[in-house]
C-alpha cells in the first residue's frame, strides 16, 4: 500500500501536470488569436509562450516561500522533540518522535506522521532514512542523522544537539527571508518593465500599424523573433533567480550507507557526547 508521503507526492505531481495542460489549452488559442490579429507568426508564438509562463511570472517567489516554510517547520518539529526529551515528557526517542509528530507543523505533517508509523515495523534507522529522503533537504539529513546516531549508540545530550540544530535552521530561515525580500523587489521591478513593454508593443500593433509596418517583411519577422527570444530569455532568468537554492544531501537512501555518511556519523556522534 502506498505510504501517505508517496500519495501526497503523487497528488502534487498530478496537480502540476493538470495545471500545465490547462495552461497549454489557454496558450494555443491565445497564440492563434494574436497571430491572426497582427499577421505576425513571431507575435503569436510570443503570446503563447507568455501565457505558459504567466503563472510563474506573477508568483515568482512561491517555490522559495514553500522552502522557507518547510525549513521553519523542521526547526519547530526538531525543537519540540528536544523539549520533550529535556523535560522528561518523552522517555524514549520513539516516544519523542511520536509525540512531536502529533503536533507537527503542516508543511511536514505528512512526513513526520509517516515516520512515526514506520518506526515499529521497519525499525528506527530505515524509517529515519526514508523520512530524510522524503524531506529531500540537507537540513532533514542532519536531523535524521542525529537521531540515527542516538538510536545506534545511545549517547547522551541529544536534546542539546537537537536544540542547536533548530537554532541553526532558524538562522538559515532568517537569512533566506532577507534574501527573498530583496529578490521580490528586483523581480517586481523586472515584472513591471516587462509588462510595460508588452503593453507598448500591443498598443503600437493596434494603433500604429504604419509605424510597425517593417515587421510585415521576412526580415522584420526575423527581427521580431529575436526580440521575442530576448523576452523569453529574460523570463527564464527571472524564474531561475526565484528558485530556492538547496544544498547537496549526504544521507543515502534507506538501502545504502556510503562512506560520506560514515564520516557524518562520526562527527554527529562526537557532538552527541
- Nearest Cα to Cα of residue 107 among 140, 82, 143, 153: 140
Q: What proportion of the chain, given as a percentage, has pLDDT over 70?
A: 81
Longest dimension (CA), the chain: 81
Cβ–Cβ contacts within 10 Å for residue 272, how many? 18
Q: Work out the burial of residue 4: count CB atoms within 10 Å of its CB; fewer than 13 is exposed, 13-18 middle, 19 or more buried.
A: middle
Is pLDDT above 70 for 234?
yes
For residue 254, the model assigns a pLDDT of 56
Confidence (pLDDT) at 155: 67
**From CA 137, how far away is CA 126, in angstroms rounded?**
17
Of the listed ranges 43-52, 158-167, 212-221, the one predicted with least confidence:
43-52
Q: Select the more confidently predicted residue: 76 or 210.
A: 76
pTM of the model: 0.70
pLDDT in tens, 155-164: 678 999 999 9
What pLDDT does residue 148 have?
92
Higher pLDDT, 109 or 213: 109
How far is it, in rounded angstroms, from Cα 124 to Cα 146? Answer: 12
Q: Where are the domains of the chain?
A: 4-64+178-242, 68-173+248-272
Amino acid at each position: 500500500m502506498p505510504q501517505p508521503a508517496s500519495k501526497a507526492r503523487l497528488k502534487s505531481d498530478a496537480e502540476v501536470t493538470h495545471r500545465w495542460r490547462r495552461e497549454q489549452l489557454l496558450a494555443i488559442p491565445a497564440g492563434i488569436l494574436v497571430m491572426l490579429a497582427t499577421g505576425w507568426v513571431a507575435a503569436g508564438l510570443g503570446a503563447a509562450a507568455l501565457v505558459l509562463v504567466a503563472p510563474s511570472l506573477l508568483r515568482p517567489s512561491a517555490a522559495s516561500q514553500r522552502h522557507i516554510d518547510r525549513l521553519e517547520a523542521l526547526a519547530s518539529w526538531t525543537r519540540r522533540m528536544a523539549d520533550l526529551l529535556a523535560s522528561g515528557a518523552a522517555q524514549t526517542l520513539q516516544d519523542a518522535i511520536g509525540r512531536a509528530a502529533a503536533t507537527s507543523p503542516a508543511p511536514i505533517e505528512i512526513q513526520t506522521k509517516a515516520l512515526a508509523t514506520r518506526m515499529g515495523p521497519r525499525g528506527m534507522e530505515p524509517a529515519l532514512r526514508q523520512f530524510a529522503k522524503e524531506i529531500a533537504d540537507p537540513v532533514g539529513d542532519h536531523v535524521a542523522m542525529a537521531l540515527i546516531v542516538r538510536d545506534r549508540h545511545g549517547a547522551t545530550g541529544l536534546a542539546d544537539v537537537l536544540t542547536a540544530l533548530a537554532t541553526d535552521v532558524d538562522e538559515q530561515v532568517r537569512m533566506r527571508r532577507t534574501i527573498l525580500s530583496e529578490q521580490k523587489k528586483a523581480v517586481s521591478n523586472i515584472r513591471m518593465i516587462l509588462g510595460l513593454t508588452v503593453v507598448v508593443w500591443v498598443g503600437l500593433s493596434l494603433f500604429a500599424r504604419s509605424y510597425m509596418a517593417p515587421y510585415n517583411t521576412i526580415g522584420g519577422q526575423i527581427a521580431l523573433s529575436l526580440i521575442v527570444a530576448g523576452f523569453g530569455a529574460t523570463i527564464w532568468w527571472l524564474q531561475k533567480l526565484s528558485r530556492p537554492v538547496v544544498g547537496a544531501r549526504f544521507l543515502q537512501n534507506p538501502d545504502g550507507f556510503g562512506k560520506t555518511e560514515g564520516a557524518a556519523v562520526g562527527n554527529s556522534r562526537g557532538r552527541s557526547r
